[in-house]
Each structure stands twice: as C-alpha cells, then as structure tokens.
Amino acid sequence: MSKKTIVSFKLNGTATDVMVEPRELLIHTLREKLSITGPHIGCETSHCGTCTVDLDGISVKSCTVLTVQCEGAEMLTIEGFAKGGVLHPLQEAFTQEHGLQCGYCTPGMITRAYRLLQENPSPTEEEIRFWMAGNLCRCTGYQNIVKAIQYAAAKMRGESVTSSHPLMAEISA
Amino acid sequence: MDQNVENHGRLEKLEGIGCSRKRREDPRFIQGKGNYVDDIKLPGMLFAVMVRSPYAHAKIKSIDTSKAKAYPGVHAVLTADDLKPLKLHWMPTLAGDVQAVLADGYVSFQNQEVAFVVADDRYVAADAAELVEVDYEELPAVVDPFKALLPDAPVIRPDLDGKSVGAHGARKHHNHIFNWQIGDKDKTDRAFTDAEVTVKQDMHYPRVHPCPLETCGSLASYDAIRGDLTVWITSQAPHVVRTVVGLLSSIPESKIRIISPDIGGGFGNKVGVYPGYVCSIVASIVLGRPVKWIESRSENLTTTAFARDYWMTGELAADRNGKIKALRVNVTADHGAFDACADPTKWPAGMFHVCTGSYDIPNAHVSVDGVYTNKFPGGVAYRCSFRVTEAVYLVERMIDVLAQKLNIDKAEIRKRNFIKYEQFPYLTPLGLEFDSGNYLPALEKVLEAVDYTALRAEQAQKRADPNCPTLMGIGITTFTEIVGAGPSKSCDILGIGMFDSCEIRVHPDGSAIARMGTISQGQGHQTTYAQIIASESGIAASQIAVEEGDTSTAPYGLGTYGSRSTPVAGAAVARASRKIREKARKIAAHLLEVAPDDLEFDLDQFKVKGDPSKAKTMKEIAWAAYNNVPEGMEMGLEAVDYYDPPNFTFPFGAYLCVVDVNKKTGETKVRRFYALDDCGTRINPMIIEGQIHGGLTEGFAVAMGQELPYDEQGNVLGGTLMDYFLPTSVETPHWETDFTVTPSPHHPIGAKGVAESPHVGSIPCFSSAMVDAFAHLGTTHFNMPYNSYRVWQHAQSLGL
Amino acid sequence: MIPRSFEYHAPTALPEVIALLGQYGDEAKLLAGGHSLLPMMKLRFAGPGHLIDLRKVAELKGISVVGSELHIGAMTTENELIFSKLVAEKLPLLVEVARQIADPQVRYKGTIGGDISHGDPGNDHPAVMMAMDATFVLVSATGERLVKATEFFHGMYDTALTPGEVMTQIRIPVPPAGTGSSYAKLKRKTGDYATAAAAVVVQVQNGVCSAARIALTNVGPTALFATDAAASLVGKPIDDAAIVQAAKLAMAICEPVADLRGDEAYKTAMAGQMVERALRSAVSHVK
C-alpha cells in the first residue's frame, strides 16, 4: 500500500478534502468517502458512462480518473444540479419526456448532457446522439433521452416547453 | 358546467388508467438519490470479491489461502471446504438441479466461483484475491452441445455419475439433462407424410446476456443476537430469494428479510440466486458483520445467467396455397454446466410451446433436449417470458421460409394462416388457450402505414439494378407472446404457485398505501399501480404510495419477470381496489341512509341513483371508515388480494423493418422500424411507449451484435463492453410505434403486459429483413448476430 | 478492477519529467489521458511502481502555426482538436479522425501524444500521422530529436521512443491548395477500435493526382504505410479504376490478426473498402 495523500477540490461548490491512496479511483472516492452515490459503476472499463462527472469543465468517466489527479479541481455531480429545491431544466426534462426508466444511467446521462448544452445550446438530434454516445442506457432506447435534451435546451434558451406525452391524450370523458 | 368538461377535470385529477402520468420514481433518480444495492453502506461493512477459475474444465488439486488470509485487512477467505460443514457448498437451482456455490473439487466452466475473499474494502479484497493460490489440473472442455452428447465426451458433471433420471425424467447420456416433448407426434408426422409441401430449417439462437447496466450484488447483514438476517439484493423476485435462503440456511423465513431496493435494470438477469449472494450471507453469519459483494461487468457477462443458446430445427407442412398443416420442432438446448434455467418447475423449456404463434396450425409436436456443456449456467428469459423469444423466433422464421418456398408474399402467407378473431378463445395443438387476439387488422394497419406496396416496388427496382451498392430487405413479424405466468395449476417455482399479491390500506385522510409482491426495475410500478387503484377505487393516484421489494412489509409475490407484473399483480391490484370500493359503497350507503344497491360509483364518489346531489366522496368515506361504519362492520378500509390467474395473457403485435445492407462491407442500416403492439387495455401510454422503445433497442442489440462465443478450450470471448454489443445513441435506430386495443377477457381490467413484446417480436423481424435482403439470391436463413463481419461472410458465400 | 499500488508524481515542467524517468527507469509509466493505461492497470495487466502524470506540464499543451507547419502539443486532447478552429481550417483530417475515436468523455481525456506513443496498431492517429507526413519531437536527458511518423512505429507497442524519452510535440505540414483528405473507419460501434481504417491525403491538379499518401489502421502490427497503393494513383485521374487498383495494392500489405471483429480475410477486404471510401471522400474534399 502506498502512502496516502490529502487531495482538495471543490465538489458541487463545497470545498472538500479527502485522504486517498494514489491508486484510488475518483468514482470510489465520491461514492465511498463523500456519500456522492449519484454517479454509478456500470462497467469499470470506461464504456458505459454511468460514472460521468463534470471535472473542470469537461465530462469525464470517473472510473478512469485517479482522485489524486483532482487536486484543485472544480467538480459537479448530479447532486449539485437542483438549486434551492428547484430542479435544473435537464432534470425536469428527463421526467417530462420520460427519458429514464431504471434510473441507473440517469445521473451520468444528465451530467453529460449538461456539458453538451454548455458547448452547444441548440444541438440537432444528430448532434445529441453523437455527443451523448459515451453514455449507455439499456432501458429507453435513447429516443426519449434525445427529446429530453431538446426540451431542456429549449427551456435553457428561454423558450416555452411542453411534454410530448400529454397526460390526457388517450382519455375521453 | 358542461358534464364532459367536469368529468374531464375529475379524470385529470384522478390520473387513472389511460393517463400519461409522469413517473413518481423520477424525482429520486434525476437527483442522484436512487438507492441501489451498492449505494447502501452499513457500519462495519466489509467487501468481498470472488476468486474464479481461469479454466473451463479442471480438477482442483489444492487451494492455498494462507497468503491471502495473512494480507492486512483480510477477514476471511471461504472455499468449498469452509461451506461443507454448513452444507452450503452446493445449492439447488430453480430447474431442479444443483449448482456448486464454491467449486467442490472441480470446475466446469471458465470463471466458476472458487473462493470468496472478504476484506476491509474493495482495494484490499482485490489485492488479496490475487494471493489465493489454486492448483488446477486442466481437463478437456466441451462447449458444443452436439459434441457433448458424443459417447466419449468429457464428463461435465461427475457429481451426477450414475444418475439416469433427472428432475425432468430420463437422462440418456452423461451430459444429457432432459428430453421434453409436447404435442401429438403421430398426427404431426402423418400430416408431414401427407403434405403437398414441406420446409425445414436449422437455426441457432446464440448465447446472449441481458446485461443490465447495474451488475448483480448483495449486502448481507446478520444480527447474531436477534438471529435476524437482512439481505439487500439485486433480485427481481425477493420473496423467492427469501424462501431459497430459508431452505438453504434453516433460518425461518420469519427471521429473514430480503430487500430489493432500486434495481438498475434486470431483463431476466436478476431472477436467479447466485453463488456470490450465498457467500455474502454465509460470510456475514460467520463474521458477524455486514458483507457486500458486487460483481464486475465481466463477471456479470460471464457467470450470472446467460439467455438462449438454442439450436432449433423447424419444419412446416402445408398445402400449395400456403395453408399450414403441421409444425414439427426439435431443439438442442445448451444449458451450460449446471441446469439453472429459470422456468416454471413443470416446464423445462418454459413456454416454448407457444411456438405455433399467431397461426391456425392443426398439428404440432415439439421435442427439446437439455444438454450440459463447459459453459456458465443460466437460460434466463432475457426480456421475455420463459423461452418465448426462442419460440416466436422459430415460428416467425419458419413461416418466412415457407412463403419463400411457395413464392407467396410474407404478409399474404400470414393473412392466410392467422387465427381468426372469431376463433378466440383458441386452443392450440400444444395445449395453450389463447384468450384473445385480432391479428389481421393489426397487420393491415402496419402495411398501410409504411406503404408496403411501394417498399416492395423499390426493392424490386434495386434488385434489378446491378450497380446498386446496397441490398434492401423488408422484414415482417406478426407475433403472439405468452406472458403473465401463471396459473398455479401449471406454473410454480420451487412448489410455490405463481400467483401475485396486493395489499391496500386507505388512511383516514383518504390517502393510501399499496404494497405488492412484485419489484420494478424501471417499469414504473409506483406510477402505474397507483393509476389502476385510482380508476378502481376513486382515490387520486397522487394520494397513493406504492411500495415493493421488502419482504417484511410486502405480501408474498413471485416477482417481476416474464411481463407478469401487469397481468398478475396488476390484477391483484384491481381486485384489492374493488374490495376497497365495495366496502366503501357500504359505508357510503350507511352515511347516505340508502341501500348499497341504490348507489352508483362515479369516478371518485358514490352517488344516489336518480339523485346525484346526494353523494359521498372517497375522502369522506375513508374518514368515516375510522369512526362511523355500519353496524357489524369492522373499522378500517383495507384489502388484500392474492391473484391466481385463470390463464396467461397473449399480447401480440405486427412489426415491419426495412434494412439497407452494404454488399461490400456487410454494414447494415436500419432505415425504418414500425412497431404496432396490442397489449390490451393501456394503463399509461407514455410508459408503454418507453417500454417499447427499450424492448426494440434490446431486440436490435441481440439481432445485430450480441453474442458470447467460446473457443474450443472453453474460454468465453467477448465478456467486456468492448466486445459485447450494447448500442449507443448513435447505433440505435429511430422507432415508430402504433397500437390497437384488444382487451384480455379474463383480466380484471383487460391488460396484458407489454415490456417484452418489442424484444420478442423485433428479433425475428430483424432476421426476416436481413434474410429478405438476400432472399432473391436463394437465402432462406442465416444466423444472428448480423454484425458486418457475419453479413459480409454471407454475402461472400453468395459470390457478391 | 482495482489497480495495484503505485507512487504518483505530478511534475510541472518537462525537465522534471525527464528527471523522474531517469530516476525510476522501467518502474515508471507516463500518464497522459489515462484511457489506455488505467484500464490496463485495473485489469492488473500493467502494474507500474511509479506513475508520472503529464497533466501539469505546460510545454506539452497548445496548438500553433509555425512556418508551414502546425505544431500540436502532445497533451492536446481529442476534443481540443475537434473544437480547434485552427485545426479545422488547416488540417481538417485531424478533426475527422478525432471524431471517430472512442466517445465524447474519452475524447476529453485522450491525447494525441498518448494515442501515438502507445504504439497500439488499433489506435487511429498513427495512420493519419503517416498520411500527413507528421514529425514527432522526442525529448530526453540528452536533448531533442525529430522522428518522422513513417519511421516511428516499429512493432506492436514498440516505437522509436527510447527509455527516458518523452514525446512533446507533433509537427504536421499544412497541406497546399489542391489537397483532399479523409479517414474512413469501419467499427462495430462507438468506442470500438477499427476493424480496419484508412487515412488518405491526395493532391489533385487539373484533375490529375500529383501526390498521394495512404496509411492503414489495425491491419498489421503497426499502422501500415501503403506506398505502392499511393504511388499507383500518381499521374492519373482518381477515377473508379484507379481507386479500386489502389485498394487492391493496399490490401496486399495487410497482415491482420483475427479476433471477434473478423478473420484475416474480412479485415483485409475491409482495409481495401476503407481505402476506397476514404479516397472517394478525399477527392470530394479537394480544395
């Protein structure tokens, strides 16, 4: 076992110190030491994207980042999205467009979509599909995830938005 | 106010059946507050990893755990020898076989469980696992079920030496598990002898894996003082796990609490009981501390429950007009090293006998042989009911083959053979009673929506053009599923009938809690069960909490798989709601001083017939249930229902797929996929659409890329997400969905289940399209998966 | 999936990196984006005693035009290449290849220098570097040397890099007017290595090919520089016949290894197909 070191970074706006071995992976530090269990572990080979966090303005798979590499970093996880009880437009969008089912990929998916919309506030469907391809979902078939990201993008641009699944569409009184 | 507008408003508030209600599960998931097994942390918790065999077949000469045990932070290293005194080194499987919990002297598949290392955390456990020294003597492996049945094939299961009878009858070879037959063989054979036309086709449904994004795992916590065992587990059937754990451990079920918390997808992978679960329980009992075991992705893909691996030969007998006279099927089923199929006890090939499909076939016979090989155990239903995907694949492929032989269009031959609407209920030659169906309008709706005639014209044009770089294929399926297992007269698991249950308690303020024996893995039960209760009892869905997955609070149920939640538990929910409603009627009658029969139920209240100004809302009735009930009535407003379904349900659909295949590279583009599903009554259209998108995507993955092949030495290939095909948003096609509604006549609300239809129905549709792309060159079938390599090989074999 | 223990170093300047490499020798590994090395370490296929993280070394970053060349710091990430207006304008091929590597998250971390230095024939930059006639700057305690891409790759995971040496920069000549380029990659899905891929750069003057460079990915122990295929194009129009002939010559040098992506025959055929695809695309890109 190698000597542990203290690593300091800003996590969802809060100054945070942790003591880790150099080999400790960021996903384990977040989940085991910092009670950040939104990001999940799905493959450990950097394919699935469930462990995605935002690190210094880029989306990373935290299973393939060492915690010691995060000294001085600014980190955003799904836990940092809602502010003062108000959901982030992406969070609202995933519910309104039914962009999730089992929920396991959702934190990584939303975190990745956040960075995408920072870089491209009006992505086309093709751009969304291309730039979301680092996050696997086994439940939704992505179609409603694409819609959710479009919904959130519109809302973040200040446009009015409605769910494409009206509550009463198939009900006649 | 206009009555319709008012009713609409009340319906909107009720959020009952038919509403696209937004999911009640979502707030926790979108905020990172889901609670999956690996999210749970207990004081003093230890972490465990499994040491696994690198060989597919070997004797274990010795295991030396001393170095691992001496590694700082290690608490225990378990082997079969440690489990023997507890009689836990073997466990029963759901299929009547036994499976080694930890290898007992030999290993019979690669990555088999050999030792269990328990340590302070996952880092220490990983280090110590490397220090366990196992001395193996490698033996020849057999991975081909046909070779496994040769006289001199290696003996895969020495523990069964001399056992000529297994759980499902006679074994004819040391690697043979069972032969199961159904149907009238003589009549079927005669129909073939007399037939004007016969066709025969071999096909392999490859070994695949459900691969939910969350792997399997468990956290066991044994309290030695109270004698209580609590296990958080990734299980689609927590009550069944409790019964199995009780049987294995001799702890009474009253002292065992199994909790399935949030589950990150199941798709059949999380039905079984796995060695890691058992070891975490034993380790917790031995060490007196909570022990967590979470498998890695590769462990998941190569040890916990494959699906399919069916080698099928189908034959159809027909007349010259394409009217089918008989179906004959022979299957060699590769079950791996232990028979751990998840099937109802009496049916070792599950509901494979739904293989006569949507067609009026007078004669049929099926024979299935189960075979051991040096591959990991399983045989689970991957997003389908037991072996239904295999069955539907068989018949949908065969009717295409027959159409091709007779030069009849694939849509037309289906129309000629459909079971007609007026024939329902329809008894199939293999003994199933299809409750309902209306196949012709469904197919016609699809053909019209895609302009089938124009597609065929385009295809003809492309086939005529030698310079066209692509081959166009059109696939059609018109499938019937069988779900909702099932009637206890035919379906049980470990002797327990496959009923399901619901308990509802209405609180004084008119809100309610409902608990079920099922467990959602993404299906949205918390949302949809509440909608059923809302429509049936008049309590607004927003006022209903739905709980599942905790065996200490939920009534016994058989769990969620095989699309059984809506057909079985959903029925229990409706019936329990009706019991609430009927008690509420009596209370309302008492409050309004009329006879119960003088009242009519109107959405959320009881009204006096003929005098609608006199009414009591469910909210008022709930309050009265706790202070003012009729003479002789018990207080409270609760109901429990255990529902043993009278029959299965039979969702159906008509799918059409268009592919463009690059002749030179084998790359395939799914240009269009149109899916029409009929799941009977539609509870939540938004969720139905989501389930269909997901099922189609999993079907696409299976058809176009998923496979767990083995080399001759028994090494499993492709056990990582680099190789195992999980499509991303880039690869996944765009889906078009549609529906018809043919309610189930025996289900209380007419619902049939939907989540698995798109998987079951889409896979043969992709095959139909891929074969169709080459059909003009004489191809009648080629095996999945249709990755570009395999498609190119096929194109090459045709000289393209 | 837990790496073995190691010591971690995060030097801030190149001389420190060189010194650490000198100090720890074989025990040390350089960490760039980490998406090749860390997975190997998690599988315990690799277990370096010392990890030297290059993320803080400023000399290894940056993209600039120097004379007729583009100079790219070895620690430039794939997404930085994709988002760079300079690269898009001067070397569109580099954007095209970067977009086909791995997935978005991996591209934020994966670096051009790491992709090249690893010596993995499945990586995409080596063939592109050959096709673009890139030169690599290698620095060690004894100084700096320049190595051409065509001379750099010696075998599977074997490159011109000597112990103690670091790749610091990639220098690529900005192509003249009349150049078209393309990278065609056949892969099973997002995130996969190429079944086969081809990088081509062609110059066309008055409808006639005046120069061509072709290189292939993942059909040999290294990226393969297809000189005969390229030479066959020069001096004539790049028409269907010429394209098919070049593809055939490229296929002749393939020596792929069979795996789940395909057997030797398939991969060789696909190398030919990718050459054809890339050539057609390159010709359409000529400007």
Contact assignment for B30 to A91 by CB distance below 8 Å: yes
> Structural domain boundaries of chain B?
3-34+500-643, 37-141+215-263+270-303, 306-485+648-707+719-797
Rounded CA gap, B502 and B523, in Å? 17
List, by residue number, the catalytic residues of B: 236, 383-384, 756
Contact assignment for B11 to A102 by CB distance below 8 Å: no
Q: Per the omega criterion (within 30 degrees of 0), is the bond before A39 cis?
A: no
**Are B423 and B416 a contacting pair, CB within 8 Å?**
no
Within the 260-279 window of chain B, which residues sit less than 8 Å (CB to CB) from chain A? 262-265, 267
**Shortest CA distance from A5: residue in chain C:** C8
- The pLDDT value recorded for residue C200 is 98
Side chain identity at C16, as an amino acid letter?
E
Contact assignment for A64 to C34 by CB distance below 8 Å: yes
Rounded CA gap, C45 and B358, in Å? 52
pLDDT tens digits for range B356-389: 999 999 999 999 999 999 999 999 999 999 999 9
Of B298, B414, B379, the closest CA to residue B653 belongs to B414
Handedness of CA A16, A20, A23, A25 (dihedral sign): negative
Within the 52-71 window of chain C, which residues sit less than 8 Å (CB to CB) from chain A? 53, 55
- Which residues on C lie below 8 Å from B727 (Cβ)? 189
Cβ-based contacts under 8 A for chains B and C = 47
Flag residues of chain A having pLDDT under 70. 1, 173
- Which residues on C lie below 8 Å from A131 (Cβ)? 104
Rounded CA gap, A29 and B603, in Å? 52
Mean pLDDT of B55-78: 98
* Superfamily of A5-80 according to CATH: Beta-grasp domain (3.10.20.30)
**Are C31 and C52 a contacting pair, CB within 8 Å?**
yes
Rounded CA gap, B523 and B751, in Å? 15
Do B37-141+215-263+270-303 and B306-485+648-707+719-797 show the same overall fold? no
Rounded CA gap, B706 and C188, in Å? 11
- How crowded is residue B451: how many other Cβ atoms within 10 Å of its Cβ? 11
Mean pLDDT of B286-307: 97
Question: Nearest CB to B665: which of C2, C4, C186?
Answer: C186
Strand stretches in B679-770, DSSP E: 736-739
Q: Per the omega criterion (within 30 degrees of 0), is the bond before B425 cis?
A: yes
Residue C185: strand, helix, or coil = strand
**Are B336 and B372 a contacting pair, CB within 8 Å?**
yes
- The pLDDT value recorded for residue B1 is 53
Question: Best mutation site among B47, B301, B704, B722 for testing chain C: the one with the most C CBs within 10 Å?
Answer: B722
Instruction: Name the pLDDT band for B3 (thresholds 50, 70, 90).
Output: confident
pLDDT tens digits for range C21-41: 999 999 999 999 999 999 999
CA distances from C280 to B647, C110, C124, C182 (A): 60, 29, 19, 9
**pLDDT at residue B689 tops 80:** yes
**Are C24 and C49 a contacting pair, CB within 8 Å?**
yes
**Shortest CA distance from B297: residue in chain A:** A43
Determine whether A154 is exposed, middle or buried from the number of CB atoms within 10 Å of its CB (0-12, 13-18, 19+). middle
Mean pLDDT of B441-465: 98
- For B37-141+215-263+270-303, the fitting CATH number among 3.30.70.3190, 3.30.830.10, 3.90.1170.50, 3.40.1400.10 is 3.90.1170.50
- How crowded is residue C110: how many other Cβ atoms within 10 Å of its Cβ? 24
Rounded CA gap, C127 and C226, in Å? 10
Buried b (16+ CB within 10 A) or exposed e, B273-312: bbbbbbbbbbbbbbeebbbbbbbbbbbbbbbbbbbbbbbb
- Which residues on B lie below 8 Å from C42 (Cβ)? none
* Pairing state between β B306-318 and B197-208: antiparallel
Contact assignment for C5 to A45 by CB distance below 8 Å: no
**Shortest CA distance from B9: residue in chain A:** A173
- Which residues on B lie below 8 Å from C2 (Cβ)? 122-123, 126-127
Contact assignment for B792 to C191 by CB distance below 8 Å: no
For B294-350, the DSSP string reads E--HHHHHHHS-EEEEEEEEEEEEE-TT--EEEEEEEEEEEEESS------TT-TTT
Mean pLDDT of C118-146: 97
Rounded CA gap, B485 and B561, in Å? 9
- The pLDDT value recorded for residue B4 is 82
CA Rg value for chain A: 17
Side chain identity at B31, as an amino acid letter?
Q
**Are B436 and B743 a contacting pair, CB within 8 Å?**
yes
Mean pLDDT of B627-645: 97
Tokens representing residue B128 in the block: 């110590």
Contact assignment for B690 to A168 by CB distance below 8 Å: no
A12: left (phi over 0), alpha (psi -120 to 50) or beta: left
Question: Nearest CB to B731: which of C1, C189, C269?
Answer: C189
DSSP B721: T
Tokens representing residue B401 in the block: 């083959």
Q: Which fold has domain A89-156?
A: DNA polymerase; domain 1 (1.10.150)
Tokens representing residue C101 in the block: 């590597």
Contact assignment for B789 to C195 by CB distance below 8 Å: yes
- Which residues on A lie below 8 Å from C104 (Cβ)? 59, 112, 116, 131-134
Would you give the distance in Å from CA B754 to the centre of its chain?
Answer: 11
Task: Find all residues with CB under 8 Å of B86, minimum gap 6, and list them.
Answer: B282
Contact assignment for C106 to A134 by CB distance below 8 Å: yes
Contact assignment for B693 to A141 by CB distance below 8 Å: yes
- Which residues on C lie below 8 Å from A53 (Cβ)? none
- Averaged pLDDT score across all residues of chain B: 97
**pLDDT at residue B7 tops 90:** no
Cα three-residue angle B558-B561-B567, rounded to 5 degrees: 75
pLDDT tens digits for range B510-537: 999 999 999 999 999 999 999 999 999 9
Question: Best mutation site among A2, A23, A65, A130 for testing chain C: the one with the most C CBs within 10 Å?
Answer: A23
- Which residues on B lie below 8 Å from C192 (Cβ)? 722
Handedness of CA B281, B284, B287, B291 (dihedral sign): positive
> Structural domain boundaries of chain A?
5-80, 89-156
Residue C270: strand, helix, or coil = helix
- The pLDDT value recorded for residue B486 is 86
Of B131, B134, B135, the closest CA to residue B70 belongs to B131
DSSP B149: T
Contact assignment for A144 to B121 by CB distance below 8 Å: no
Question: Nearest CB to A23: which of C6, C10, C191?
Answer: C6
DSSP B469: S
Q: Which fold has domain B3-34+500-643?
A: Aldehyde Oxidoreductase; domain 4 (3.30.365)
Instruction: Name the pLDDT band for B772 (thresholds 50, 70, 90).
Output: very high
Question: Nearest CB to A69: which of C1, C55, C79?
Answer: C55
CA distance C131 to chain A (A): 26
Contact assignment for B734 to A169 by CB distance below 8 Å: no
For B395-411, the DSSP string reads HHHHHHHHHHHHT--HH
- Which residues on B lie below 8 Å from A101 (Cβ)? 265, 522-524, 690-691, 694
- The pLDDT value recorded for residue A1 is 65
CA distances from B237 to B175, B244, B299, B520, B571 (A): 30, 11, 21, 10, 18
Residue B56: strand, helix, or coil = coil
**Are B576 and B502 a contacting pair, CB within 8 Å?**
yes
Side-chain-facing half-sphere of C267: CA atoms under 13 Å = 22
Q: Which fold has domain B306-485+648-707+719-797?
A: Aldehyde Oxidoreductase; domain 4 (3.30.365)
Contact assignment for A61 to C106 by CB distance below 8 Å: yes
Of the two residues B346 and B157, the one the predictor is more confident about is B157
Rounded CA gap, A109 and A103, in Å? 10
pLDDT tens digits for range B201-210: 999 999 999 9
**Are B424 and B799 a contacting pair, CB within 8 Å?**
no
Question: What domains are there in chain C, each with its CATH number?
Answer: 7-53 (3.30.43.10), 58-172 (3.30.465.10), 180-285 (3.30.390.50)
CA distance A58 to chain C (A): 6
Residue owning tokens 């949809």: B528
Question: Best mutation site among B29, B39, B702, B756 for testing chain A: the one with the most A CBs within 10 Å?
Answer: B29
ipTM of model: 0.98
Of B650, B672, B652, the closest CA to residue B442 belongs to B652
pLDDT tens digits for range C172-203: 999 999 999 999 999 999 999 999 999 999 99
